[in-house]
Structure 1
Amino acid sequence: MNTPLAVLIMIVAAFSLYLSRQRTQENGFFHGRSAEGDAPGLITLIFSQVTTWIFARSLLNAAILGFYYGIWGTLAYAAYYLSFFTGALIIDHLRFRQGHTSIQAFLHERFGHWGTRCYNLVIGVRLVSEVFANLLVIGILFGVAGSQAYTLAVLAVSLVTLIYSMLGGLHASLRTDLFQMLVFLAVLGLLLIFAVAGGHFSVALLDFKPFEISDPGPILLLVALLQVWSYPMHDPVMMDRGFLADRRTTWRSFIHAGWISTLCILAFGSLGVIAGAGAFSGEDMNQALTRLLGEWPMLLFSATLVISAMSTLDSTLSSSAKLVVMDMKLVPARVNNGRIAMVLFMLLGLALVFWGNKDLFSAVAVSGTASMYLAPVIFFSLWDNQRDIPLWSYLGSFVVALGGAVLYFTESSGYSALLGEAHKYTKLLWISLAVLVIGCLMFQIGSLSARRPRPSDSRMQVQP
């Protein structure tokens, strides 16, 4: 057991519990309001957005991609953070220009019950995958899968996070996000100081993996640029924070969170590039970084992952409660029902940790591909405000995207080889491009057919 890291977890957990004042009113638990009914301020929203999107899986993925594919791998993952800018446009159109109170309300108005059913399925899977992925990172930090240290770390962090999330819901999540983000920035800053002082940053890092358009790094960058249009809309944690404050505060929170989180991801991912450039044959990323930076900087490296995991877990659980109780309305709008939903999502995430796939990026790629069914919805129904798109266009786009996500999962996991022997990221690019083009074609055809006059509407009838 990593004793210093365990002590740090206990300190962060203790402060998080202290900050999580119990909320027994629905407005605070589900909508993040203070006891006086006030919305969160700009700084709170910015830091909450940043820390919930710089989750442990993201940090580790950015570093791993940098380790294997150089700066292009890290840039590819950082490109997903353009989602804050597209997300700002989505929220502004949906909430402030068209007056909807949630994504579900918008989809129900345009596509009926099937509009919300498809969406709720996708974001439900997204939320479970977030619980799974962040707990998985916690386990990896403490030991190999199945070891006692691995199991105890996962169970301890899940229990502590669940307790303080159940106490205060979204209001507690916002308060703890602010605290956890400040700690995260301090720890990341110290880690970068160690790296700079050791002379590990240099221009030569850019040449560690030269740019070749057919290499996995640049290919993944193209994938991110395709998926970034729809990615924010299928992330309930980001979207929920778009319905808390006034228009100006909301817009500014998204914009500032976008550039701050992108810089943080690039900074952390550069550590993976350093490890890849300096690794000996047979060394993995952690071994190379430990040799290059030393034991204490690696403790800081692990600490950033732990803090980001806890901050994302509480936000994920809060969004899970809101999804089940307020958006899907499966149970009466009571705080205790939200707490039960949190427990269920945590248990589902734990089940995947101990019995699921251990590929961290697969969860990003699969959910990102599935989310692409929303791209034509955003282009045609939201930004262009077309109200006559038929249901078959929406369902067709959903089926194609879901099929693409399943195909990528089977191809990347080795269960199928329908797309040949190409690299899995090349396959992901083909699948993403096909899903986007086919979905937009379905909406375009649906839009044209809806505008075509029906025979019964014709004025060209012969008069007696």
Structure 2
Amino acid sequence: MLATSLSVLLLVAVLAAFVIIGVRAGRQGPRADLDDFTVARGSQGPLALGLSFLASGLGAWILFAPPELGAILGIGPVIGYAVAAAGPFLVFAFVGPRLRGIVPSGQGLSEFLRLRFGRAASRLVTAVSLLYMGVFVAAELVAIGGLVELLGGVPRQLTVSAVLVATLIYTTYAGLRASLRTDRWQSGLVIVLLTVAAVAAVVGVDRPAASVRASGLLGVDRVGLESAATLILAVTAANLFHHGYWQRVWSARDDRALRQGALIGAAVTIPLMLMAGGLGVLSASVGLAEVPALSIFALTAELPTVVIAAVLLLGIALVASSVDTLENGLAALLVSERPSLGLGHARLLTVVIVLPAAVVGLVATSVLQLFLIADLLAAVLLLPALLGLWYRTTTTAVWAGIVAGVAGAFGASLVATGSLDGAVASVSFPDAVPTLAPFAGALLASGIVTFVVSLLGRPTVALSELEGLLPERATVAPGPPSGS
């Protein structure tokens, strides 16, 4: 464990550096422009965008969840988790340009659905997005509070408060542009520090390769494959309702930058996830995974202080990169739903909307059940929402698909468990354990029904007309132009 004074110093220093970077980014942009605050439209090249996707997607959870899976179930679910973490970026690479082409002045998926299918559909998607992103903020705060307390003895209330204050300073000032700028530094820190920690952990273990081979954790069985498939479906579906990612779709300089940036984000995410999960496998192989979620810390506990400090810095960078994205994304989501809101409202919402999640982050020890419920709701909505990009899809078909998705999740769980109680448990996750049946049932039923009902109906809104339906947004005169 690090000395508490050193841990506090590192925490303050890293967060202060991000504040300076974020505020400077705001000073270089059109600070009085609401559109720039929420989407920084057309400002990002492929590398900056790829690093931003990476930093926004990876949070402090990467130090707990992949190692825990690796320690318990082996390499199979770790591979599935890695693919799941990169999966949304691959979807954005192909779906993003299509949506940008339909509504070039748009701001996100919920806004597109409001134009396409009406306010009720948009509000449902917005509610699920708010739930998912709010739980994500809370989970990140729970994770970083526990991490700094574990490694440095710092009370988690102090850590959580420091992270919130620091990230809110630069996100309320500069909006998305600040998050994009800090993402570049945060992603670099994550790549370097996770690599340093992994190499140090492997070097510090006797005969690591032989231990892993003897553990049996490199094999893939039915449970591992099912866990991997569940993670791919759940995480991909949920992250497509992360408004912070949709903001980056419109922040791309052009469609080529978006595709390349998304592919860069996916290409770097996968090895980092495999690295983190592999440390869990290694920890279990050498008998150090008594608490699987703490596998990385068990491996590094006896290593030099500089390595423990690197893990602490890694956690701070991870949580800051995801939390600032979520803060701005939550505010931008609400602004996109209420075009009459102005820049001052957006800044106020950045603070107000994150407060409930902050309270949960201060008092909770786990929010995994809420995460899984939000993931399942996202799985129900995913295909009906994406099929809105097909000109034949109708409003009736979308609502029929959503109802079918709910029924499919419950019905598949009923078949898999063989009992009503088991089905209820399968879709409510009381033990915070995800299972494949509800996610597969939700996706299959919602997609098939939306498609079939669309074939039977008649489209009422032409996709080419949607851009013209966008309302005027509240704005004020922009400041001087700048680069990104």
Q: Please state which band the TM-score falls in when normalised by the shorter chain.
A: 0.7 to 0.9
Residue of structure 2 in register with 1:86 after alignment: 91
2:173 maps to which of 152, 163, 167: 167
Change in 2 beyond 3 A, CA 1:236/1:59: farther
Task: Out of 104-113 and 257-266, give the one that drifted further.
Answer: 104-113
Distance 1:212 1:360 in 2: 29
The TM-score with structure 1 as length reference comes to: 0.83
1:176 maps to which of 175, 178, 182: 182
Residue 368 (1) aligns with residue 375 (2): yes
Q: How is 1:27-46 mapped onto 2 (pairs within 5 angstroms)?
A: 27-32=35-40, 39-46=43-50
Residue 318 (1) aligns with residue 328 (2): yes
Residue of structure 2 in register with 1:14 after alignment: 16
Contact 1:132 1:353 in 2 (8 A): yes
Q: Give the letter for the 2:278 counterpart.
A: S
Partner of 1:211, secondary structure, is: coil
Q: Give the letter for the 2:46 counterpart.
A: L
Residue 288 (1) aligns with residue 334 (2): no
Distance 2:320 2:330 in 1: 15
Change in 2 beyond 3 A, CA 1:2/1:339: same
Superposed displacement of residue 218, structure 1: 2.4
Q: How is 1:25-424 mapped onto 2 (pairs within 5 angstroms)?
A: 25-32=33-40, 39-80=43-84, 81-96=86-101, 101=106, 102-143=108-149, 149-198=155-204, 201-202=208-209, 204-205=211-212, 207-209=215-217, 211-215=219-223, 217-227=224-234, 230-245=237-252, 246-280=254-288, 282=290, 285-286=294-295, 288-291=298-301, 293=303, 295-325=305-335, 327-329=336-338, 332-356=340-364, 358-359=365-366, 361-377=368-384, 380-382=387-389, 384-388=390-394, 390=396, 391-397=398-404, 399-400=406-407, 417-418=422-423
Partner of 1:303, secondary structure, is: helix
Partner of 1:372, secondary structure, is: helix
Contact 1:77 1:221 in 2 (8 A): yes
Change in 2 beyond 3 A, CA 1:303/1:175: same
Contact 1:131 1:345 in 2 (8 A): no
Contact 2:172 2:350 in 1 (8 A): yes
Superposed displacement of residue 254, structure 1: 0.4
Contact 2:45 2:261 in 1 (8 A): no
Distance 2:168 2:262 in 1: 27
Distance 2:323 2:334 in 1: 17
Task: Report the count of equivalent residues.
Answer: 434
Superposed displacement of residue 339, structure 1: 1.7
Superposed displacement of residue 85, structure 1: 0.7
Distance 1:283 1:55 in 2: 20
Q: Give the letter for the 2:163 counterpart.
A: V
Gap regions ≥5 residues in structure 2: 460-484
Partner of 1:350, secondary structure, is: helix
Superposed displacement of residue 10, structure 1: 1.6
Deviations 1:276-320 (CA, angstroms, capped at 9, x unpaired): 222258455356323564554233223212111001111111111
Distance 1:364 1:89 in 2: 26
Distance 1:98 1:148 in 2: 47
Contact 1:389 1:450 in 2 (8 A): no
Calculate the aligned-residue CA RMSD, in Å.
3.3
The TM-score with structure 2 as length reference comes to: 0.80
Distance 1:231 1:173 in 2: 21
Q: Give the letter for the 2:334 counterpart.
A: V
Contact 1:279 1:288 in 2 (8 A): no
Identical counterparts, % of pairs: 21
Superposed displacement of residue 172, structure 1: 0.8
Partner of 1:202, secondary structure, is: helix
Distance 1:148 1:363 in 2: 27
Change in 2 beyond 3 A, CA 1:107/1:378: closer
Gap regions ≥5 residues in structure 1: 453-464
Distance 2:34 2:102 in 1: 26
Deviations 1:386-433 (CA, angstroms, capped at 9, x unpaired): 2335253244256558979xx99xx9xxxx644689996886211111
Distance 1:403 1:344 in 2: 35
